[in-house]
Amino acid sequence: MTKSANNQPLDEIMLAMDVVDTLRHQEKLVAPELGSDARDEELKERLRKIYKAQGIDVPDHVLDEGVQALKEDRFTYHPPSSSLGRGLARIYINRGRWGKWLLGILVVLLISIGTYQYFVAGPKAALPEKVQTSYTELQKSIRSDRGRELATKLHNQAQTALKNQNEIGIKRALQAMENLQGALDQEYNLKIVARPGEKSGIWRIPDVNSGSRNYYIIVEALDAENRPVKVAVTSEESGKTSLVSKWGVRVDKGVFQSIGADKRDDGIIQKNIFGKKKKGYLVPDYQFTTTGAAITSW
């Protein structure tokens, strides 16, 4: 009786596997015209000689089991067929190889998403609220009709840009509103310059009318502690707006001569405050008659 696989010693199982492997090589050498039983006996006889030559005594029941295993195609590796489970298993086994790449891709993706949200999507989504907040703050600060008109104009421009999804237009309007807020928050005195070596006033002959003169008093913006204050001033000659602390304010001939006479009297201008800029207003409250036109270089 043949021993069952569960009760066979390990050495017999290993021997049977070797027998099967040898049989596969010998099977092609046995005459194909022999009957099944004759082929089996021929194969076993060949095996006895092979193992005997190697000094190995193989029991008949092991040879019989090897022949039977060959017929049943045992001890042969058959790769499992492709399936979802097998594919997932292979992915899991190779996780160390592709895991690093996947992790790197995920990190780059998360950084890209975060960067876009922080620098692009977030600020863009906040623009409508920012426009409304800026306009509300302006409304709280403004103390003059001129300031309200300008704030309303800028707010309308921002709303139009928002409606058209014109991000550049929105940012320009916001910048203009910020500049307006800065101008409203300023407080300073306009003092007539009277230091030695510096002019207190000048006159110019305009290009459009060589027979006339334009008169300007040179003033400087100073805070409560007499520190210079930078103010956005537009030159009527060049049309360019510059941040300056000193500029010329246009006056008529009478004011120009009056201030000149005050300085010539004793070298000191007694009435040297040309105007005062209060918080919430766009232009100073002038103490002398002026058009408000200015120049920034002379």
pLDDT of residue 201: 97
pLDDT of residue 55: 78
How crowded is the C-beta side of 116, counted as CA atoms within 13 Å? 6
DSSP codes, 87-146: HHHHHHHTHHHHHHHHHHHHHHHHHHHHHHIIIIIHHHHTHHHHHHHHHHHHHHH--SHH
pLDDT of residue 1: 41
- Both tokens of 109, joined, read 């993706």
For 184-240, strand residue ranges (E) read 188-192, 201-204, 214-222, 231-234
pLDDT in tens, 90-137: 666 766 676 777 777 878 877 877 775 656 655 678 899 999 999 999
pLDDT of residue 54: 78
∠ Cα 107 109 115 (to 5°): 100
pLDDT of residue 43: 72
The closest alpha carbon to 188, from 230, 240, 161, 224, belongs to 224
- Helix, strand, coil % over all residues of the chain, rounded to 5: 50, 15, 35
- Both tokens of 227, joined, read 């520190």
Tell me, what DSSP letter sits at residue 36? H
pLDDT of residue 2: 45
Q: How far is CA 70 from CA 19, 77, 158, in A?
A: 9, 13, 88
pLDDT of residue 31: 47
pLDDT of residue 247: 98
- Both tokens of 103, joined, read 């992790």
Instruction: Look at residue 272 and give its three-state secondary structure.
Output: coil
- Both tokens of 24, joined, read 């596969």
Structure-derived torsion over alpha carbons of residues 25, 26, 30, 34, reported in degrees to the nearest 10 = -90
Which parts of the chain have pLDDT scores under 70? 1-17, 19-21, 23-36, 69-92, 94-96, 98, 116-123
